[in-house]
Structure 1
Amino acid sequence: MTSGRLPPCVKNVTDRTSNPFGLRPPFDRSDPDDRTAVFGYGDANADFHVVGDYPGVHGGETTGVPFTETEDGLAVQDVVREVGFASGPRNELALENCFWSYVHMCSLPNGRRPTDEEYAELERFFDAELRAINAHILLPVGARATDRVLREYTTQRHRFDLDMAALHARDIRGRGFLVVPIQEPVEWTDGDREAIVSKIEALLASDYRQTKGVATTVG
């Protein structure tokens, strides 16, 4: 995939764990020892898609793997391990039925946050990957990822204040997806970790596979 345009059809490539669709970031503003970008990672046929914010907060600038290195990233990884999606070393793990990616995949210098313009520049890459994975359950982590997913993949963003404590582990029906937001782990209080683990386990125990465009769970 070139940096200037997206192909008309992105094929599902199952033999590549990292960057299965060959995305190429449109810019490199990373520090010298960091990866240019932290690409999507995991099972390209997954039913569960965990969406983080950017490498500086959720990790991967040196490993190239989302949800590594940082406190928030490792807390999300531990939840994914507990529900049985992940195994192996923390920085090079195997994912089954789960895919990880970031709204803003590029690394940035000196730990700074992406600007609104930088987020906008990468929107088309994130959208292409999310639609190619075509998961049933979207799990956005933190306010930025949750806002993006609710705005673009549901018709319900106007119904909610972006109160992540209230949205944490809550079912929100989308356009072909069920959205379950996750509050930033650094902000978790008693019971928050257990709540998201229990929610994912309940989904796994149900018939969560949805009719696209209806987004319902049965069971």
Structure 2
Amino acid sequence: MDEECRNCPALCETRTQVVHGYGDVGADFLFVGERPTERADRLGVPFAGEGGSDGDGGLRRMLERLGLCDVTSPADAPGLENVYLTNLTRCRDPDREPTDEEIDNCDPYLNAEIRMINPEILVPVGERALRELGVEYTTTPVDDLALPDDHATRIRGRGFELVPMIEPSEQSDAETQAWLETFVELMASDYRQTKGRQER
């Protein structure tokens, strides 16, 4: 993972740092957002932070409630268990969403992480992540994938199952509870696929 990546000249001018994935490399659950939030850009960890309006704290609190994140761990080094966090793009422009070209430029990083982690469950966080992962990892036509309709649903994929979520900062309390209930049920089920994964 290139810490000084220069593939997107415009983003090189606006980022604080390159934010590659972070977490348990043996994880069953891989969360994918669109781009680093402001706090993640500053700290260097996807979805890092406490509270705030950019959604970082919301996802962390959800992971803590699921027992997947140590509540005492610091924002810049969250103690994650069975979870890996990443984004479609590694760099942030504070004023705009990433372009299709920028997402394509980062695709090799994401693909490398997915191959390395070999998760069972992909969690697209937000509409853009759902559409991008849907194209590659499901047989569902991408036009049939959308939030909020697919929030907290289980979508069968190609060797993976997807459990999309609305951006945490945009979720109502009811939507957060619905997603947590779906994920608790999933964690209690036999969710592992038969795709030749190696024993860890």
Give the TM-score band, short-chain normalised. Answer: 0.7 to 0.9
**SS state at 1:62 partner:** helix
Shift of 1:159: 6.0
- TM-score under structure 2 normalisation? 0.85
Higher relative contact order (CA 8 A, sep 6+): 2
In structure 1, stretches of 5+ residues that fail to align are 1-21, 214-219
What is the distance in 2 between the residues matched to 1:23 and 1:52?
19
Q: May I ask how many residue pairs the two structures share in their alignment?
A: 188
What is the distance in 2 between the residues matched to 1:43 and 1:67?
14
What is the distance in 1 between the residues matched to 2:40 and 2:179?
23
Corresponding position of 2:110: 126
Corresponding position of 2:45: 65
Matched, 1:195 2:178: yes
Corresponding position of 2:60: 77
Residues 33-72 of structure 1 deviation map (CA, whole Å, 9 limit, x = unaligned): 812x111000001000011110146x41110011124531
In structure 2, stretches of 5+ residues that fail to align are none
Which residue of 82, 90, 98 corresponds with 1:105? 90
- TM-score under structure 1 normalisation? 0.78
What is the distance in 2 between the residues matched to 1:161 and 1:114?
20
Give RMSD over aligned pairs: 2.1
Which residue of 46, 53, 61 corresponds with 2:34? 53
Shift of 1:119: 1.3
Which residue of 20, 23, 27 corresponds with 1:42? 23
Name the amino acid aligned to 1:97. Answer: N
Corresponding position of 1:15: none
What is the distance in 1 between the residues matched to 2:135 and 2:107?
12
What is the distance in 2 between the residues matched to 1:156 and 1:33?
34
